A and B are shown apart, each in its own frame.
Chain A
Amino acid sequence: MSDRGASEPGDSVAIGEVRAWRRFLRHRLAVGSGGVLMLMLLTCFLTLPFTSARFDRQDLANNLSGPSARHLLGTDELGRDMLVRVLYGGAISITFGLLAASVSVVIGVTYGAISAYAGGRVDGVMMRLVDILYSLPYILLVMLFALSLGPYFQRVLSAPWATFWVLLLAIGGVSWLTMARVVRGQVLSLKAQPFVEAARALGVPAWAIVVRHLLPNLVGPVVVYATLTVPQAILQESFLSFLGIGVQAPQATWGSLAADGVAALNPLHVPWWLIAWPCGLLALTLLALNFLGDGLRDAFDPRRSR
């Protein structure tokens, strides 16, 4: 019979995680958002074979028409069906967000963990570099990146996809900074725990300590911040697509669809359906991701008091 108070070194973390998940499930808004996101993901990606074939099919007889029986969400000025384009654009935007968040997780976790575990001057230098990178006006640099490296990518890939990958590298390459800081903070506090000291005393090599003991305990904060990075990346990509620096026509993302819609505005005839659907879905996705991320953060961060 074990004493209720006694626990193994790793236990307190595991029990904390279970409690955190329970806290999360009580947060109905966050769970609901998760459900909405799942629905969005499934719709966009399951229809992808259908939409990717049809997204630039033109029906010029019916261009710029509102929602109708044939085109459920209306058509744009080239007669392309908005429903298909919005779903296709959604798949691309969401993929972009997930990929960018993955890039930032990989780079950020590696950098932050190494910096914190090494400690001392190495840590100081690495974090000073992060500070400097943080203060650069990176939207401008992302645009310049897209401008100058875009053509090189275009030689390898087809034209619209070149900008996708350039933007991905640029945005992912910048958003790792926050992740690195968060991971560094976590590792610093974990480093002080007795089980790390014990492992070191037992002669476990540094890399094994990081991989086997520190990384599993990082999962909580990393998941939270990754969930919050996805909407940021989608937002930035739509921002740049809106400005005309993102994917090129006829490819679509929610941002470029919104830009096309705004460009088609005039006081005589407001084709609201060109703007409403991409903006609405974008807003819904971002809102849901932010609620989800907030819910996860509230559940996993023990210091937060409501």
Chain B
Amino acid sequence: MTRLAVRRLLQVPFVLLVVYTVSVALVAATPGDPLATGDKEMTPEARRAKEVKYNYDQPWYRRYFYTWPIQRLLIDRDLPAHRYEDWTVPEILGASLPVSLQLGLFAFCLAVAGGLTAGILSAARRNTWIDYLSVALAMIGISLPTFVIGAGLLILFGLWLGVLPIGGWGQARQVILPGVTLSLPFMAYMARLTRAGMLDVIGEDYIRTARAKGVGPRRVLLVHAFKNAFLPVLSYLGPAAAAILTGSFVVEKIYTVPGMGTHVVESVSNRDQTVILGTVLTYSVFLMLFNLLVDLAYGWIDPRIRLGEE
């Protein structure tokens, strides 16, 4: 298992390099003058000052592939944004990343809690109305795009009923609607996975043994069956975390949450090269981190993998 961990860890910088190169190449390929703000002509002095500020007086390899972006981003921490010239990229990320993380974490926990509960209940009460309701809701949750659910909840709870705030960030109640919206598709998918996993496992012999031994039904379900049914859900957690990150773009737009998602979308629309680089790298790091953690957890939880070394 340590071999697996080491191999995955070695992949991280390589993949980050690929992402960085592709992003830089795509951004550089964008036609148009990267230094122009679009409103007015610049005097030669102003343009010269800008070139120095954004390092455009350096040759291209130093500008992109050598120290400039990484060094200024991480070490000097003064990589300037293009659109909002007074802000540096680390400042922007620092202000918005915690918001997105809070939202994402809330949605993730909600999805796991809700999904597992619904799936276990569904499997335990198979073919009753609880089961059918869960399955129906799960299908709807999976098929509906996030913005449909978000718009619907916004209209229903924010505008027509008026019980929850329609957006913004700062108070505890403002996290409810965005968090629930963000978590629903994943909750639905995890409910499905849990239900399928439990149903597969319940037919196994060791469950019959446990019941024959006289183990109480709840313990059989929650301890014996669930531990083994959990594996497919666990391997879904990585992609789910990644998708929660991307789902946050839409949710942040609908509920005007000042998170990183808005900056990602805005920077792409505004062709803000430095912010694009910052956000892409940040997201990639988180993605790889989540996937690595999940893979390690999977290998650790399943003793067949841990002891059998693939």
A138-157, CB under 8 A of B: which get 1 and which 0?
A: 01110111111101100000
CA–CA, A243 to B250, complex, Å?
7
With contacts A151-B30, A267-B166, A270-B159 known, is A140 near B280, CB below 8 A? yes
Interface stretch of the complex, out of B87-95, B137-145, B171-179: B137-145
CB-CB nearest in chain A for B292: A135
A231-246, CB under 8 A of B: which get 1 and which 0?
A: 1000100110011110
Q: Which of B14, B26, B291 contacts A144 (CB 8 A)?
A: B26
Q: Is the CB of A238 within 8 A of B145?
A: yes
Judged by DSSP, the binding face of B is helix
A246-277, CB under 8 A of B: which get 1 and which 0?
A: 00000000010011011001010010100100
CA–CA, A235 to B279, complex, Å?
23
B282-302, CB under 8 A of A: which get 1 and which 0?
A: 011001100100000000000
* B254 cross-chain contacts in A, Cβ below 8 A: 262
Q: Is the CB of A137 within 8 A of B151?
A: no
* A305 part of interface (Cβ distance < 8 Å): yes
* A88 cross-chain contacts in B, Cβ below 8 A: none
* B83 part of interface (Cβ distance < 8 Å): no
Interface stretch of the complex, out of B59-67, B68-76, B205-213, B264-272: B264-272
With contacts A140-B280, A265-B155, A265-B159 known, is A244 near B31, CB below 8 A? no
* A145 cross-chain contacts in B, Cβ below 8 A: 26
Q: Is the CB of A275 within 8 A of B143?
A: no
Q: Is the CB of A286 within 8 A of B144?
A: yes
With contacts A239-B145, A283-B144 known, is A262 near B288, CB below 8 A? no
CA–CA, A267 to B152, complex, Å?
14
* B27 cross-chain contacts in A, Cβ below 8 A: 144, 147-148
* A1 part of interface (Cβ distance < 8 Å): no
* A255 cross-chain contacts in B, Cβ below 8 A: 145, 147
B residues 123-158 near A (Cβ < 8 Å) are 139-140, 142-148, 151-152, 154-155
Size range of the chain B interface in the assembly: 35 or more
Q: Is the CB of A291 within 8 A of B148?
A: no
CB-CB nearest in chain A for B261: A243
Smallest beta-carbon distance B12→chain A, Å: 9
CA–CA, A135 to B295, complex, Å?
13
CA–CA, A203 to B152, complex, Å?
62
* B146 cross-chain contacts in A, Cβ below 8 A: 239
Q: Is the CB of B139 within 8 A of A137?
A: no
* A238 cross-chain contacts in B, Cβ below 8 A: 145, 147
Q: Is the CB of A137 within 8 A of B242?
A: yes
CA–CA, A152 to B29, complex, Å?
10
Q: Which of B11, B160, B280 contacts A270 (CB 8 A)?
A: B160
CB-CB nearest in chain B for A242: B147
Q: Is the CB of B268 within 8 A of A147?
A: yes
Smallest beta-carbon distance B141→chain A, Å: 10
* A15 part of interface (Cβ distance < 8 Å): no
* B5 part of interface (Cβ distance < 8 Å): no
* A289 cross-chain contacts in B, Cβ below 8 A: 143
CA–CA, A291 to B283, complex, Å?
32
Interface centre among B11, B151, B287 (most CB of A within 10 A): B151
* B151 cross-chain contacts in A, Cβ below 8 A: 258, 261-262, 265, 275, 279
Q: Is the CB of B143 within 8 A of A287?
A: yes
Smallest beta-carbon distance A70→chain B, Å: 25
Q: Is the CB of B148 within 8 A of A282?
A: yes
* A140 cross-chain contacts in B, Cβ below 8 A: 23, 264, 279-280, 283-284
Q: Which of B147, B159, B287 contacts A258 (CB 8 A)?
A: B147
Size range of the chain A interface in the assembly: 35 or more
* B246 part of interface (Cβ distance < 8 Å): yes
* A38 part of interface (Cβ distance < 8 Å): no
A residues 159-218 near B (Cβ < 8 Å) are none
Q: Is the CB of A144 within 8 A of B23?
A: yes
* B224 part of interface (Cβ distance < 8 Å): no
* B29 cross-chain contacts in A, Cβ below 8 A: 148-149
B residues 13-37 near A (Cβ < 8 Å) are 14-15, 18-19, 22-23, 26-27, 29-32
Q: Which of A135, A147, A258, A265 contacts B154 (CB 8 A)?
A: A265
CA–CA, A116 to B250, complex, Å?
38
CA–CA, A117 to B166, complex, Å?
55
CA–CA, A261 to B146, complex, Å?
15
Smallest beta-carbon distance B234→chain A, Å: 18
With contacts A140-B280, A151-B31 known, is A132 near B250, CB below 8 A? no
* A136 part of interface (Cβ distance < 8 Å): yes
* B166 cross-chain contacts in A, Cβ below 8 A: 267
* A283 cross-chain contacts in B, Cβ below 8 A: 140, 143-145, 148
* A104 part of interface (Cβ distance < 8 Å): no
Q: Is the CB of B200 within 8 A of A305?
A: yes
Q: Which of B32, B148, B276 contacts A279 (CB 8 A)?
A: B148
Q: Is the CB of A244 within 8 A of B155?
A: no
Q: Which of B11, B203, B280 contacts A132 (CB 8 A)?
A: B11
* A290 part of interface (Cβ distance < 8 Å): yes
CA–CA, A145 to B268, complex, Å?
10
Interface centre among B15, B147, B288 (most CB of A within 10 A): B147
5 closest A-B pairs by beta carbon, nearest first, are: A286-B143, A279-B148, A287-B143, A144-B26, A148-B26
